[in-house]
Chain A
Amino acid sequence: MDPSSGIQEPFDLIRLSLSERVFVKLRGDRELTGILHAYDGHMNLILSDVEETIMIVEQVEGAPEGQSTVNIAKRKMNMLFVRGDGVILVSPPSRT
C-alpha cells in the first residue's frame, strides 16, 4: 500500500473530502466548486455554496482550424443535487 495516503478504494478520496470545498468536472463542459455534504455510490452529490462554470465554445465561421472563442458563463447556487452520471472527475482543490 502507498504509505503517503490511507486510501484503499477510490471512494475514500471522496469520503475524506466531506465538508471540504471540491472541484467537480461534469459532462457538457461544466465545472462546479462547492462544499461537499453527501455522496453515494452513483456519485450523486449534495453541494452547497456552489459556483457553476459553463464553457461555451463557438467555432468562428470561416476561421482557420483551432480558431474558436470560448465564452464562460458562471452562476451561483445555494444548494445543489448533482446526478452521478454527469460526473467525470472530483478533486479536493485545496491540495493542488
Chain B
Amino acid sequence: MADATPPPPPPVEVSPPPPPPTNAGSPTDFLKGVVGKRVVVRLTSGVDYRGVLSCLDGYMNIALEQTEEYVNGTVTNRYGDAFIRGNNVLYISAAEPL
C-alpha cells in the first residue's frame, strides 16, 4: 500500500485568445457606406440590377434608382425606381469606390 500520489495533470494548453471583435468593416458598415452609391444587386436567379441604392431595410428589401436589369450581361429592362424584395437578393456589390 504505497501512498502513490497520482501524477500531476499535464499542463493545460493555453490557446491564444480570439482577436477582439472589430466594428469597423462589419457588413452593416458596408451597407451604410453604399447607400447613395452605384451598386450591383444580384438575385439568386442570376439576374443583376445596376442602379443607385436609395435605401434598404432589415429584410434586405432594396430601393434602387436609375435601375438597369441585366440578364446574361445584356440590358433587358430599365426602371426609374425599383423595389426589390429582400428574399431574392444574393449579394450587393459596390460599383464605384466607397
The answer to whether A95 and B55 touch (CB under 8 A), given A10-B61, A12-B63, A13-B63, is no
Cβ-defined contact, A92 with B81, below 8 A: yes
Residue of B nearest to A95 (CB): B80
User: Which listed residue (B45, B55, B82) contacts A91, Cβ 8 A?
Assistant: B82
Residues in A whose Cβ lies below 8 Å from that of B42: none
Binds B, one of A1-9, A46-54, A71-79: A1-9
Residues in B whose Cβ lies below 8 Å from that of A84: 85
Cβ-defined contact, A9 with B57, below 8 A: yes
- Counting CB contacts under 8 A, is B30 at the interface? no
Main secondary structure of the interface of A (DSSP, over half): mixed
Give the number of chain B interface residues (Cβ < 8 Å).
23
Write the nearest CB–CB distance from A14 to chain B, whole angstroms.
Answer: 6
The answer to whether A88 and B79 touch (CB under 8 A), given A2-B54, A11-B57, A13-B63, is no
Write the nearest CB–CB distance from B42 to chain A, whole angstroms.
Answer: 13
In the complex, what distance in Å separates the CA atom of A9 from the CA atom of B79?
18
Residue of A nearest to B85 (CB): A87
Q: Name A's B-contacting residues (CB within 8 A).
A: 2, 4-5, 7-14, 23, 43, 84-85, 87-96
